Amino acid sequence: MTTEVAGDQLVGLSRYGSVYLLDEEGSTNDYALGLAGKRATAVVVARRQTKGRGRFRREWFSDENSLTTSLLLFADAPDFPRPSFLVHLAGLALARAVEQTAAIATQIRWPNDVTVDDKKLAGILCEGRRNAVAVGIGLNLNQEQLPEELPDAVSLRMATGKQWDKFYLLENFLREMYASIEKAGKGESAQILADIKQRSSILHRRVEVQTLLRKHIGTVIDLDPEGRVVLRADSGRLVVIGAGDARRVR
């Protein structure tokens, strides 16, 4: 168990589920999904994560200065958002949480990276097993520098010159995430999508989108109600893309 969380913070976190504070774990997403049989929402935080993975099964860098956490939710809960939309809700909630914590402007690089000045601050990996969904967050928090293999990444400390409390940020994220889920459940997804579009760093930009199968180059003309990219490809064709990696090009 980690001891770095204050009692009142623990009480705050426990509003959102059973709290598991782990010293070392392979992947908090795996740990969270392993709790699914308990049928209760959970918040898992690891001080060190040894086998963290990113989207498309890429290795995910983290150290003790990172926030590595997973929120376990259940997709069969009443009014639960579609899993494809949940990914986007999580990006918005995290972008807002960072802003509330550190008063710094954030953007969302589709589908759900949180960036600061186009550098990646955090990534999100949503994974499901039957009705359980783990929303995994990896955020570079207090590193003074990051490995040189990650030239396009930034930590919150590097961006602000200050150290931040990971549990304070986490509580801000959980509050925002649950508020967005509730909003979506009340049929207010259009408002959420508008907020996501406002923060999007690729909307109306020329991008290259790499999917599992191919690469598309063109201009993003919209995000559809599912949060998918609507791209006017250079060939003139309109392409709708549900999953991939986007980067801006000239």
- Give 86-149 as a DSSP string: HHHHHHHHHHHHHHHHH----EEETTTEEEETTEEEEEEEEEEETTEEEEEEEEE-S-SS--TT
Tell me if 124 contacts ligand BTN by CB under 6 A. yes
* Binder among 35, 42, 55, 111 for ligand BTN (CB under 6 A): 55
Tell me if 86 contacts ligand BTN by CB under 6 A. no
Please state, in angstroms and rounded to a whole number, the distance separating the CA atoms of residues 156 and 162.
Answer: 8
Which positions ≥6 away from 94 have C-beta within 8 Å? Answer: 112, 114, 122, 124, 137, 139, 173, 176, 177
Q: Which is nearer to ligand BTN, 70 or 180 (CB)?
A: 70
Q: Which is nearer to ligand BTN, 58 or 237 (CB)?
A: 58
Pick out residues in 132-171 that bind ligand BTN (CB under 6 A): 136-138
Please state, in angstroms and rounded to a whole number, the distance separating the CA atoms of residues 173 and 15.
Answer: 13
Pick out residues in 14-33 that bind ligand BTN (CB under 6 A): 27-29
Tell me if 35 contacts ligand BTN by CB under 6 A. no
Tell me if 123 contacts ligand BTN by CB under 6 A. yes
Binding site for ligand BTN (CB under 6 A): 27-29, 49, 52-55, 58, 60, 62, 68-70, 113, 123-125, 136-138
